Structure 1
Amino acid sequence: MGIIRTIGSAYTAGKGTSFTVWAPEAEQVEVILKSPHHATLLLQRESFGYWTGALENVLPGATYVYRLNGKMERPDPASHSQPDTVHTASEVIDHKNFEWKDQDWKVLPLEKYIIYELHVGTFSEEGTFKGVEKKLPELKELGITAIELMPVAQFPGTRNWGYDGVYPFAAQNSYGGPDGLKSLVNACHKEGIAVILDVVYNHMGPEGNYLNDFGPYFTQKYNTPWGAALNFDDAHSDHVRNYFLQNALMWLRDFHIDALRLDAVHAILDLGPKHFLQELQEHVHQLGDQNNREYFLIAESDMNNVRLLNPVAKGGYGLAAQWMDDYHHAVHTLVTGEREGYYEDYGKPEHLVKALERGFIYNGLYSEHRKRTVGTDASANPAKQFVVCAQNHDQVGNRMLGERLTQLVSFEKLKLVAGLILLSPYTPMLFMGEEYGETNPFLYFVSHTDEQLVELVRKGRREEFSAFAWKGEAPDPQALETFQKSKLQHSYTQNEQQRKLREFYKNLIGIRKTAPAFSNLEKQNLSASYDDTTQVLHLIHTGKMPYVYCLFNFSDQPQRVTLPLEAGKSWDMLLNSAEEKWGGPGADTGAAENQNNSFLLQPESLLTLQSKKQ
């Protein structure tokens, strides 16, 4: 493993606060204390361009900046708190002073994860970590075992998806800051819920990004959608890598986060001898050994490359899991009929069958949309290594009008889709509000202070939608109304149909957690097939007796399905989405004929069966 060095401010009781910053091209670096009193400390230069020093009388809550070469004042690149804005002084934090109450927390294995992705600012009325905390009992009752927080690293203003963060070490002040996040993790662990944090190591936001003033954090070697790439393999890159390694370790160690979701790792450009992701996994594994627990790294990638997951001995990076866009696209195109943009590569039932049985659809195939061959074979990788969803922040929020599936398909199809995610062999993820059919959109929003930058964001969004034939005008990302429209209503307590949909999700999660066949979820323990005549997908889980047989009717007509007898096997009903208690039209399954393994599926319905004990 490469260089690893602590950076930022660090308070030690009885000793004061030490400061370390990397600024290899600076001639002089000072700490300028702003509050509670003014003071100046000239830092000492050490090897590789690190500058260090300490002040005895600086306590937590004190604010400071660095002054470079006697002129330029900047916040700490490794600031642990920005109590005011991204442009003003950083705050000293004492990570050891928080009262942790999660000593009895038992780390959940990855195969037990049922993930709920949420955006802190829009998930609750308060739009804070405390607001999320209040809703945890509802998520636990639903059956959720892990929440995934969209990025909380300090961003400009108070409204942002989080991918414009510029202080990776600082939890967003308007959400509740560092202590607010720790309190949320405490509460999650008390409820038996793991916490995944989304982190962004492929680019930095534009406003408040002062890294270049300190050193070569960026390189011109590569072109990216965000300008110069972060420097993972050019001159001085050891210390840029250290910056992000330290960041990941801080979230896991000091905030008790269970897993990190690594944003768009295909945009982490690194041709060095050891890829940053491999080095990151090594450090995380080492921290796990020290703390006698396991941490998970989950990558987002659109490259369909099992190198991310495979062990180092097989030429991989050894990450725990990755998002599988192929599965989302296969489901989305089948239920919506959309074929524009990147969806042109999908839309056939056999795509979904292949995804269920083998993982990646594009596993060395030519992509018409990308005009090149894409992907590797994932059939040998465990199912738990792939996170699947029908909705997420990208797939909803990057639509021009931010429509959820609720606006695009029938109520019956919403239940069909829920089954495709929760009854798949893969690690399922729901997007906030999906479980009850939230009708508010999830739009893209920012609150930048630079009007020129705001106009660039507006223009960029319009260009992003050019590949899709979406009608209407894109909402203004900067407008407060755009943000407010994106807040969840949590309306299922007043809306009977939404309540029934949520109960349906809860029931599906219950089947996934308790049915013996789901205790050994592997691709080799299932078979999938699609009947073109009836438009019914057959999915059978055979990991453990009794087996589970799932029937998905994609057609808008009732379909009679006769199952193979398989040595006299007969089936009990576990769940029928057409039942009135789930908001369906009524479930006449032809019960009198069920002894012959013949079932009537209502239009756009899901039937889940379990083999009878012989």
Structure 2
Amino acid sequence: MTSTDNGFVFETSWGPRLVSSGAEFRLWAPSAPSIELAVGDAKGEPAVFLPMEKDDAGWWRLTTDKVSVGGAYGFRLNDGLVVPDPASRRQFGDVHSLSVLTDPNAYRWTTPEWNGRPWEETVFYELHTGTFSQKGTFEGIEDKLDFLKSVGITTIELLPVAQFMGKRGWGYDGVMLYCPHEAYGGDAGLKRLIDAAHSRGLSVFLDVVYNHFGPDGNYLGAYAPEFFHEEIHTPWGPAIAYDEEPVRAFMIENSLYWLEEFRFDGLRLDAIDSIKDTTDTPLVKELAAAVRKRFPGRHVHLTTEDDRNITWHIERGETGQPLLVSGEWNDDLHHTVHVLATHEQEAYYADYTRGSVSQIAKSLATGFVFQGDYSPVRDKKIGSRSEHLPPTAFVNFIQNHDQIGNRAFGERLTDLASRRMVECAQAILLLSPHIPLIFMGEEWGETHPFCFFTDFDGDLADAVREGRRSEFAKFTAFHAAETRELIPDPNAETTFAASMLDWSELNRPNHLRRLEQVKRLLKIRRETIVPLLKNVPANCGSYYSAEDTLAFAVVWTLQDGKALHLFANLSDEPWPLPSDLTPTDLTAGDLVHAYPANADSRLADGTLPPTSVVFRLSDQKLIMGGTA
């Protein structure tokens, strides 16, 4: 780490480094017979080639003043192929062009004292840079920061922004993991966005992908085949060789780079179950420990996605603080809500029972649904016990980019379920003591789809389109080939355009009503729920689920012994509350929220009306008869 007048910049072992005599260029290619530095001209074309020297660890190095800041460079292999820097900070063009030498201290931060926000204050807003605004850039997000703050959002989470091929894509096909996409505004635009967010008290997270590289523009295998294990297969090709120290450093330093140079407040680690690490220490463990060690004075947080329902990485210390990862994305909660709201039960939804609410109640009270239980879909036992963890160890959502975009037509929950069911689910999400996440547009009930889209061409475009359509052959609606032809082509620009947020919907009364409801719920959360989330005891949740209707109750014991009660009836019939929910005065304490407005008065009479939710806060905890 180097101290400067503008703060600190973390020095990585990969990528160029500015020195007094120019810049040091580095590339790990242990089996390459030769590597030359390619110096670009004003048009970004390789013009001069300088030999590099290899050390015993396989690193090729050269210090030279032939490349100035803003100049183009790359590496020429022994077969004549010129490739960009895999740790490029900026590209002259696309992923196949030369890289650009940058000065990491060029940006002047206006919020150098920002130290982040405590984890329990987090309300995630997941967005895709290219479709969030008509500009499709970091600047387009900056234009809407005041709006997001007014809603009650505290944390923006960007889908991956590392450079990928083309201008359109989700970002999970990134090949230059240190390079913010030029189409979005590049490194300078990203820093301006984060600075602007911090000036408004908003945190910013980045989704990062360490389980694979994209299929177009990844040249690592051409000069460093040691970067991959060809014999270990993943859905995206050979596994990354995390037993090689330079490879491991590439990813761990990448996380520190984003948090240090760009001052992100946290990272989401995508699909860590797909990281094929052959070492004794999981990459995530070492990475998270490095993050905790480097930023002791800042609120820096990590979240993970992992369908194994593991818990070792989200365990808490003696005072309840996260030891490694702050929160795990809880797909179980999403799936239970989705099945109850839409009645869909195909593919992975088959593990979740439409006729029972015990799964949603269990997930809300204790974390996962599958905690070592048998999964019929996966034909094995899944998960670890999670009831001892505080609710804040889980990031809950009823929509996200995956669960919308990986549908054939990208439909949102608003189009799949009744309005009352969605509003009940939204209240449960935003007022439960877990960390909530909403997907862009969810706050006003956006009805435009969010589809899967890419910007490939040729054979790769054909393979992605046909592969996408063949994935849906297992669904009843797409058994026939002619119906699969109706699935939007991911490479078509119209598919991308259809996924743009429609901000004009905010001019319509029904969308304004939904927005005001979300604002009200998040205000309640901020003022009533968040102050009770700091010191939550272990095993704080318990639940009751009715056997003959879609109704349940959950109670969480939060800070200072305060008990937050949730009563929910997701059926079309009233629910007479059973006598084994005690004490008899179900309305003891304070009303937090009721939907519809008369639901609390009906609760006082011992009945919960159809499709309704009531939250109450009390010093007295109900005894949940029939809990698991």
Both structures adopt the same fold (TM-score exceeding 0.5): yes
Contact 1:324 1:360 in 2 (8 A): yes
Deviates more, 1:356-365 or 1:254-263: 356-365
Q: Which residue of the partner structure matches residue 393 of structure 2?
A: 385
Q: Which amino acid aligns with 1:54?
A: T
Question: How many percent of aligned residue pairs carry the same amino acid?
Answer: 37
Once the 2 structures are TM-superposed, how far is the Cα of residue 523 of structure 1 from its aligned partner? 6.5
Once the 2 structures are TM-superposed, how far is the Cα of residue 56 of structure 1 from its aligned partner? 2.0
Contact 2:120 2:530 in 1 (8 A): no
Once the 2 structures are TM-superposed, how far is the Cα of residue 21 of structure 1 from its aligned partner? 0.8
Q: Which amino acid aligns with 2:428?
A: L
Contact 2:159 2:207 in 1 (8 A): yes
Deviates more, 1:396-405 or 1:280-289: 280-289
Q: Which residue of the partner structure matches residue 197 of structure 1?
A: 206
> Cα 1:135–1:363, aligned 2, differ >3 Å: closer, same or farther?
same
Q: Which residue of the partner structure matches residue 581 of structure 1?
A: none
Contact 2:594 2:600 in 1 (8 A): no
Once the 2 structures are TM-superposed, how far is the Cα of residue 326 of structure 1 from its aligned partner? 1.0
Unaligned stretches of 5+ in structure 2?
A: 1-10, 621-628
Residues 123-152 of structure 1: CA deviation (Å, up to 9, x unaligned): 111110000111111111111111110000
Q: Which residue of the partner structure matches residue 256 of structure 1?
A: 263
Which among 173, 187, 198 is matched to residue 164 of structure 1? 173
Q: Does residue 27 of structure 1 match 2:40?
A: no
Deviates more, 1:562-571 or 1:478-487: 562-571
Which among 6, 9, 16 is matched to residue 9 of structure 1? 16
Q: Which residue of the partner structure matches residue 96 of structure 2?
A: 87
Distance, in Å, in 2 between the alignment partners of 1:490 and 1:522 is 42
Distance, in Å, in 1 between the alignment partners of 2:598 and 2:311 is 44
Q: Which residue of the partner structure matches residue 583 of structure 1?
A: none
What secondary structure is seen at the aligned counterpart in 1 of 2:87?
coil
Q: Which residue of the partner structure matches residue 275 of structure 1?
A: 282
Which among 498, 501, 511 is matched to residue 524 of structure 2? 511
Distance, in Å, in 2 between the alignment partners of 1:530 and 1:59 is 67
Which among 296, 301, 309 is matched to residue 306 of structure 2? 301
Aligned residue pair count? 590
Distance, in Å, in 2 between the alignment partners of 1:382 and 1:568 is 25
> Cα 1:42–1:612, aligned 2, differ >3 Å: closer, same or farther?
closer
> Cα 1:550–1:380, aligned 2, differ >3 Å: closer, same or farther?
closer
Counterpart mapping for 1:476-555 below 5 A = 476-515=489-528, 519-520=532-533, 524-533=539-548, 535-543=550-558, 544=560, 547-555=563-571
Q: Does residue 36 of structure 1 match 2:19?
A: no
TM-score, with structure 1 as normaliser? 0.91
Q: Which amino acid aligns with 2:311?
A: V
Contact 1:383 1:523 in 2 (8 A): no
Contact 1:400 1:465 in 2 (8 A): yes
Q: Which amino acid aligns with 2:275?
A: I
Distance, in Å, in 2 between the alignment partners of 1:612 and 1:244 is 47
Which among 212, 223, 239 is matched to residue 233 of structure 2? 223
Q: Which residue of the partner structure matches residue 349 of structure 1?
A: 357
Distance, in Å, in 2 between the alignment partners of 1:535 and 1:320 is 32
Contact 1:285 1:294 in 2 (8 A): no
Once the 2 structures are TM-superposed, how far is the Cα of residue 537 of structure 1 from its aligned partner? 2.3
Q: Which residue of the partner structure matches residue 434 of structure 1?
A: 442
Q: Does residue 373 of structure 1 match 2:391?
A: no
What secondary structure is seen at the aligned counterpart in 2 of 1:528?
strand
Q: Does residue 422 of structure 1 match 2:422?
A: no
What secondary structure is seen at the aligned counterpart in 2 of 1:53?
strand
Residues 360-392 of structure 1: CA deviation (Å, up to 9, x unaligned): 211111110001111111122232121111111
Q: Which residue of the partner structure matches residue 328 of structure 2?
A: 322
Q: Which amino acid aligns with 1:433?
A: G
Counterpart mapping for 1:603-614 below 5 A = 603-611=610-618
Unaligned stretches of 5+ in structure 1?
A: 579-586
Contact 2:410 2:450 in 1 (8 A): yes
Q: Does residue 460 of structure 1 match 2:475?
A: no
Q: Which residue of the partner structure matches residue 577 of structure 1?
A: 595
Once the 2 structures are TM-superposed, how far is the Cα of residue 356 of structure 1 from its aligned partner? 1.6
Q: Which amino acid aligns with 2:196?
A: A
Q: Does residue 265 of structure 1 match 2:272?
A: yes
> Cα 1:134–1:518, aligned 2, differ >3 Å: closer, same or farther?
same
Once the 2 structures are TM-superposed, how far is the Cα of residue 505 of structure 1 from its aligned partner? 1.3
Distance, in Å, in 2 between the alignment partners of 1:411 and 1:559 is 20
Contact 2:39 2:66 in 1 (8 A): no
What secondary structure is seen at the aligned counterpart in 1 of 2:105?
helix
Q: Which residue of the partner structure matches residue 584 of structure 1?
A: none
What secondary structure is seen at the aligned counterpart in 1 of 2:515?
helix
Once the 2 structures are TM-superposed, how far is the Cα of residue 493 of structure 1 from its aligned partner? 2.5
Q: Which residue of the partner structure matches residue 150 of structure 2?
A: 141
Contact 2:67 2:73 in 1 (8 A): no
Residues 429-452 of structure 1: CA deviation (Å, up to 9, x unaligned): 111111111000010000013x10
Q: Does residue 48 of structure 1 match 2:57?
A: yes
What secondary structure is seen at the aligned counterpart in 2 of 1:116?
strand
Contact 1:28 1:70 in 2 (8 A): no
Residues 149-175 of structure 1: CA deviation (Å, up to 9, x unaligned): 000000111000001111001000000
Residues 7-44 of structure 1: CA deviation (Å, up to 9, x unaligned): 112234x5322211111111221111113384332212
Counterpart mapping for 1:559-574 below 5 A = 559=575, 561=577, 564-565=582-583, 570-574=588-592
Contact 1:491 1:498 in 2 (8 A): no
> Cα 1:590–1:163, aligned 2, differ >3 Å: closer, same or farther?
closer
Deviates more, 1:372-381 or 1:302-311: 302-311
> Cα 1:401–1:517, aligned 2, differ >3 Å: closer, same or farther?
closer
What secondary structure is seen at the aligned counterpart in 2 of 1:64?
strand
Distance, in Å, in 2 between the alignment partners of 1:590 and 1:227 is 55
Once the 2 structures are TM-superposed, how far is the Cα of residue 557 of structure 1 from its aligned partner? 3.3
Once the 2 structures are TM-superposed, how far is the Cα of residue 572 of structure 1 from its aligned partner? 4.5
What secondary structure is seen at the aligned counterpart in 1 of 2:57?
helix
Once the 2 structures are TM-superposed, how far is the Cα of residue 545 of structure 1 from its aligned partner? 6.8
Residues 390-428 of structure 1: CA deviation (Å, up to 9, x unaligned): 111111100001110011001111111112211222111
Q: Which amino acid aligns with 1:349?
A: V
Distance, in Å, in 2 between the alignment partners of 1:538 and 1:452 is 53
Distance, in Å, in 2 between the alignment partners of 1:294 and 1:48 is 36
Once the 2 structures are TM-superposed, how far is the Cα of residue 588 of structure 1 from its aligned partner? 4.2
Distance, in Å, in 1 between the alignment partners of 2:146 and 2:449 is 24
Contact 2:269 2:303 in 1 (8 A): yes
Q: Which residue of the partner structure matches residue 475 of structure 1?
A: 488
Residues 69-100 of structure 1: CA deviation (Å, up to 9, x unaligned): 26221111111111311111111111111111
Counterpart mapping for 1:113-192 below 5 A = 113-192=122-201
Once the 2 structures are TM-superposed, how far is the Cα of residue 51 of structure 1 from its aligned partner? 1.0
Contact 2:210 2:251 in 1 (8 A): yes
TM-score, with structure 2 as normaliser? 0.89
> Cα 1:151–1:522, aligned 2, differ >3 Å: closer, same or farther?
farther
Contact 1:154 1:171 in 2 (8 A): yes
